[in-house]
Amino acid sequence: MPTELADCTSIAGGEDLTLAVESNGIVKLWGSLEEDSENSIDPQYEVPQDLGRCIAVSVGSLHNIALSMDGTVRVWGWDTHGQCEVPTDLGLCKAVVAGDLHCVALRTDGTVRAWGCNYSGECDPPDGLGRCIAIAAGHSHTVALGADGTVRAWGAGTTNTSGYPNYGQCKVPTDLGPCLAVAAGEYHSIALCADGTVRAWGLNDSGQCNVPADLGPCTAIAAGWNHSIAIQR
């Protein structure tokens, strides 16, 4: 962690790098700072000099995404699947997340846009999605929380044409009920229900979907690649 790091308002972590947004909107990055064969810094590990002040960041597998204070979106890193090519008609946004090789943005009007790798339909929001208030992205799936508290998920497991595994990460439980937040790991999804309970579904090879029986009501959730986190009240 940089010794000169100021108070922060947003953070995000990847496999071997961390992003933080300081209270003044400046984005800081630290981690392995890998170099390529020509001894140049990997483009994912350098914050663009013209990035400006931001309010949120997220880290993908080969790219980073940032939401500027003015609502515009920037992406940098390796552009292997078009994940760094922000749509010109995206408009102003209020949230952004990075999947493995795709990006998702929640526009100020509540609509969801996604771009980048779309082998499993992770960039294709379903018809009738409606206005959303939160988004999350896993390896090859996307999750959205509707304004009415309903959870929708799409990608691997719904249009699995790429060979990406279907572990039920997009199969939202029918008895889920209204929710307050969503998160996504590699191949699993999590929801924070309105009553404070936590639900998880999808790949469970490391127990990431086994919510502790004594967890109690929670106020926030997060997902790592193969684990889940919750903050109790």
Residue 37: pLDDT above 80? Answer: no
In angstroms, the Cα distances linking 8 to 25, 28, 41, 64, 90 are 9, 10, 25, 18, 27
Closest CA to 2 of 30, 35, 43, 32: 30
Amino acid in the structure at residue 43: P
Closest CA to 103 of 54, 56, 72, 60: 60
Q: Spell out the domains of the chain, with CATH numbers in brackets.
A: 8-175 (2.130.10.30)
Per the listing, tokens 């999350």 go with 136
In angstroms, the Cα distances linking 1 to 9, 85, 159, 161 are 15, 29, 40, 41
How much is the pLDDT for 160? 47
Average pLDDT over residues 30-44: 70
Distance CA 203, CA 120 (A): 16
pLDDT > 90 fraction of the chain, expressed in percent and rounded: 87
* SS3 call for 44: helix
Query: Is the separation of the CB atoms in 69 and 85 below 8 Å?
Result: no
**Percent helix / strand / coil, the chain, rounded to 5:** 0, 40, 55
pLDDT tens track for 50-94: 999 999 999 999 999 999 999 999 999 999 999 999 999 999 999
How much is the pLDDT for 33? 64
Distance CA 150, CA 144 (A): 8
Residue 49: pLDDT above 80? Answer: yes
pLDDT tens track for 137-190: 999 999 999 999 999 999 997 754 556 778 999 999 999 999 999 999 999 999
Read off the pTM. Answer: 0.94
